Structure 1
Amino acid sequence: MFGSVRKCVNSCFVNTYIVLRNAKLHTRPDFTKNNFNVTRGYYNTLEENHIQFFYQLLGEQRVIVNVSDLERYNVDWFRHLRGNSSIVLRPKTTEEVSHILSFCNQNRLAVCPQGGNTSMVGASVPIFDEIVINTDLMNEIISLDDTSGVLVCQAGCILENLNNYVNKKDLMIPLDLGAKGSCHIGGNVSTNAGGLRLLRYGNLHGNVLGLEVVKADGEILDCLNTLKKDNTGYHLKHLFIGSEGTLGFVTKVAIQCPPKPKSINLAFLGLQTYEKVLKAYKLAKHSLGEILSAVEVMDTPTMQLVNEHLHLPSPIGDYPFYLIIETSGSNEKHDLEKLNTFLDLSLVKHFVLNGTVTSEPSKCQAIWNIRERIPEAFHKDGYVFLYDVTLPLQNYYTLVKEIREYMGNKAHRVFGFGHLGDGNLHLQITVKKYSPEIKSFIEPYIFEKVIEMNGSISAEHGIGFLKAKYLHLAKSNAAINLMQDLKDVLDPKGILNPYKVLPRE
């Protein structure tokens, strides 16, 4: 029953974000200002003398003003939002970012920091005509200490490239995302990205040792510490991790990299009920202990989605729920024995109905493709409302069932999947066509239900533009006021990523 995974899924990894970004945008959203109730802030508009300053600083090759070239920087990956920026700047150094922000601050020009533009909540695209500062040319790896495992790099380094680099020294980046082939480490830090293996390695607040950040006025803040212990005053780096570019522009990152595991096993399991999912997860924690590195869950509609649109069927047949359990360790025999013990016990206790296990890299990747390519299927299923929430595990799938009942025939599909190991649910609602009426039907109802279930309205994607108006549901007035105070101190003119995170007046 638990054998090598059948070769029914494509073992060649396809990075969904690159594939779709390079594809022609077959649908172009209306301008965000037309679809959402938002008013442009009191910022100056771009003038010819401003453009000339940027040309002199960066040269014409690194200043984008052509309308057709600007499209990909103005539209978010899900094609929900569309800004109207008329210029994109591509600096290579921290000093260039400093000059840009100093100039923009003096001239009250709003800016939009942007990395790989894979944000799920509209944090990385302009809302109006903000100047886009893209980090794709800030891609230098500065140093790697393979003894301490500390990597220092520029913010524009692509996550997958960093992982490939440290792999040569038997290390790994403690962050793994479906967008790893195009997302930038600076964007990961700015959103406190979570990913598949947070269960094992924790979030970026724990893994980032230091940052270099440029403030709104152009001052360079050097917090680029590479020490694991430094208790000298306030830990300023934490202000910028997860601030989504609203408090400062991250230019360099120091991150600790754990050893690359020598033994990786992956199990793909079929289960009857969500109650059995929880029992299997609890058993996995106790049976696998220190080698447990990822626990992902998907429901039947999710599997139907990837099969229908991407021709990736379940390798074990059809079941109401699926678990992907990964182990990572240093002793292949020891790890496989522990995994087989867990699997045998899961079958005896009737937690699991069927499954397959493999340690072959290509087959492991084939299984991960099913999970990681789910967002690619969204684009082929209509307009998707996507929600990234954290819930107590007993309420994790209750939300999916309640929203499915609430939507009725108004939705084409309601499905849930996510990082069971840290309580992070990705709940998606697809409809044939967007309308303000359907959006108002869903929101804020869904967020109110999350709060009612003692959850968080954002687990790993941040607040960005799309959730800013609902921040008050999750945070007290005192907390929001303190956030605004920090914003006023660090960015008094409000030029950094306006309309994001904090509620709009």
Structure 2
Amino acid sequence: MRKYKGCSKLVVKPGSTQDVSKVLRYCNENSLAVVPQGGNSGLVGGSVPVYDEIVISMSRMNRIRSFDGTSGIMVVDAGCILEVADKFLAEKNHIFPLDLGAKGSCQIGGNVATNAGGLRLLRYGSLHGNVLGIEAVLPDGTVMDDLSTLRKNNTGYDIKQLFIGGEGTIGIITGVSILCPQRSKARNVALFGLESFEKAQQAFRVAKSQLAEILSAFELMDEQGQSMVEFVNQRTRPLDSRYPFYCLIETSGSNPEHDSEKLEAFLEHVMSEDIVSDGVLAQDETQMQSLWSWREGISECVGHWGGVYKYDLSIPLPELYNLVEDTRERLTSAGLVGDGDTFPVVGVVGFGHMGDSNLHLNVATRRYDKEVEQLLEPFVYEWIAGRNGSVSAEHGLGLAKKAYVGYSRSDTMIRLMQQIKTLYDPNGIMNPYKYI
């Protein structure tokens, strides 16, 4: 996003857990602040130094340590690239339970540290459920050896959960054991055009009812986002007509015949009931990837004009798109939205994971503009607080949202988080100025 930049004089690239231990012990004894860094694909400034913190890059710790084909349990170094792990699992007929647009560069340790959600959460759940064990180094150099490969381990506090989403503020994750499900033999992808958000909700309800156990993704996109992908990538749209909303669904199962029957019944129902106006079903793997690119391409394309304000939010499903409309109206009324160069805002886009009620609100701009920012913040966070939503659904807090935690967490919860931070990192060297 080109919004955050520090001035580090040193990047350390450890090759082992013991290396990390020695580095942190030295830094802790000498009161030297550090910032852990993975693939640097985050959107909240969590992996970027604020001042002159020492960067600890995990890029050299990139091994796949082990995989058990019977249990589906994989153990990896924190610096292992997500796509590398998933391709390894594909050869073993398994799949990594997380999929992101940044999978070619993001690292699993960073995914776990930020509790990344991604495109498969509807089917496989969050990392809090899939991560079985963690190896981490505490600020004083102590190695936390909790790299369990057991699905059941009910022996005391589940300390590893503090590191899932902890954003490197209480220690550095060096190894992860994770449960990986079998790769589906039958996969289908379809893209629909719909006339309203209400009809998108109806389609989702029908999909949950009729597709049930084979439904693996249900993604929402608006027309403005699709127009940007079309313009930037100069591509022909998969549907002949334009619609206010689009939904992309994916099914994954073990029986192609069974899945096809269920999908055909679903398509027949939503079309006959006028829930869906038009749609296209991918006929092969190439078409599946092409349809997915219309969803995954939004995030990059909205930044084409210069800058983009990105908000990753959890909102009760019936009100999910209302924030986009209210934000668009707010910026338009202020005279900031338009086609000409004199208008700083190019467009307001809403898309996200409808299956888990996660909206990505993106405001595309020609430059980062204080007037725009003041109209967005804290308006967006106040809007979310008024509906008991979350100011961060899956990207974490980092530097961008640390001042806004109070919109989603009570004073009691914030105090408890601060106590945990102080307990693990009394000298405050771990990723300072972030999180809380």
Counterpart position of 1:202: 125
Counterpart position of 1:98: 21
Q: Is the 8 A contact 1:303 1:313 kept in 2?
A: no
Which one-letter code corresponds to 1:210 in the other structure? G
Counterpart position of 1:299: 222
Counterpart position of 1:351: 275
Q: CA deviation digits over 1:402-455, x for unaligned, max 9?
A: 111011132320010000000000001122221333212210111100111221
Counterpart position of 1:453: 387
The within-5 A match list for 1:37-436 is 78-317=1-240, 318-408=242-332, 409-410=335-336, 411-436=345-370
Which one-letter code corresponds to 2:114 in the other structure? T
TM-score after normalising by structure 1: 0.83
1:184 deviates by 0.1
Q: Distance in 2 between matches of 1:375 and 1:127?
A: 25
DSSP-derived class of the 1:151 partner: strand
Counterpart position of 1:469: 403
Q: Is the 8 A contact 1:306 1:313 kept in 2?
A: no
Q: Distance in 2 between matches of 1:376 and 1:128?
A: 28
DSSP-derived class of the 1:254 partner: strand
Counterpart position of 2:413: 479
1:170 deviates by 0.5
Q: Kindly tell me: are residues 217 and 359 of structure 1, through their superposed partners in 2, closer, same or farther at Cα, counting changes over 3 Å?
A: farther
Q: CA deviation digits over 1:445-481, x for unaligned, max 9?
A: 1110011122111000001100000111111111111
Q: Distance in 1 between matches of 2:108 and 2:208?
A: 30
Q: Distance in 1 between matches of 2:234 and 2:295?
A: 13
1:311 deviates by 1.8
Counterpart position of 1:13: none
Q: Distance in 2 between matches of 1:478 and 1:359?
A: 53
The within-5 A match list for 1:14-33 is none
1:359 deviates by 4.5
1:133 deviates by 0.5
Q: Is the 8 A contact 1:111 1:132 kept in 2?
A: yes
1:121 deviates by 0.5
Q: Distance in 2 between matches of 1:373 and 1:85?
A: 32
Q: Distance in 2 between matches of 1:156 and 1:85?
A: 21
DSSP-derived class of the 1:412 partner: strand
Matched pairs, number: 425
Asked if 1:488 is matched to 2:411, the reply is no
Mean Cα displacement is larger for which, 431-440 or 95-104? 431-440
Mean Cα displacement is larger for which, 410-419 or 235-244? 410-419
Q: Is the 8 A contact 1:414 1:430 kept in 2?
A: yes
Q: Report the aligned-residue RMSD.
A: 0.9
Q: Distance in 2 between matches of 1:333 and 1:365?
A: 21
Which one-letter code corresponds to 1:354 in the other structure? D
Q: Distance in 1 between matches of 2:244 and 2:374?
A: 30
Q: Distance in 2 between matches of 1:296 and 1:364?
A: 14
DSSP-derived class of the 1:251 partner: strand
DSSP-derived class of the 2:226 partner: helix
Q: CA deviation digits over 1:223-257, x for unaligned, max 9?
A: 10000000000000001000100011000000000
Asked if 1:438 is matched to 2:361, the reply is no
Give the fraction of aligned pairs with identical amino acids, expressed as a percent.
48
Q: CA deviation digits over 1:300-331, x for unaligned, max 9?
A: 00001111111234201311111000000001
Mean Cα displacement is larger for which, 83-92 or 311-320? 311-320
Q: Is the 8 A contact 1:264 1:359 kept in 2?
A: no
Q: Distance in 2 between matches of 1:336 and 1:457?
A: 38
Give structure 1 regions of 4+ aligned residues with deviation exceeding 3 angstroms.
Answer: none
Q: Distance in 2 between matches of 1:298 and 1:120?
A: 20
